[in-house]
Amino acid sequence: MIREQIEEKLRKAFEPAHLEVHDESYRHNVPAGSESHFKVVIVSDVFTGQRFLQRHRAIYGELTEELAGSVHALALHTYTQKEWDGLQDTVLASPNCRGAGTLA
């Protein structure tokens, strides 16, 4: 499964203190069973001193194969441990997809 591939690659590359990979494909206008839309919440001190763009590019670099394949969207929430502690485990919910649920 794609979700497990993403998790494995991110764990290996970033050694996260916290990692969540959510398959949000069901919230989008895709056929049932699709694995195309994901939300990643990752907490790693590897991100210390990096801007969000650098963090995102690093993740995209690790997931090149998935992004070239079936993964259409990847919502990234990247934090250092210090940033995560300041959030009190609050991550914004993903927005609703336009046209979600309209595919027959």
Q: What domains can be seen in the chain, in order of their start residue?
A: 2-91 (3.30.300.90)
pLDDT tens-digit map of 22-66 = 987 655 555 555 667 789 999 999 999 999 999 999 999 999 999
How far is 32 from 71, CA to CA, in rounded Å? 15
How far is 45 from 84, CA to CA, in rounded Å? 10
pTM of the model: 0.80
From residue 61, how far is each of 2, 13, 40, 68, 104 by CA, in Å?
A: 16, 10, 15, 11, 35
pLDDT tens-digit map of 58-87 = 999 999 999 898 887 889 999 999 999 988
Q: Is the dihedral of CA 46, 52, 57, 59 positive or negative?
A: positive
Q: What is the DSSP letter of 35?
A: -
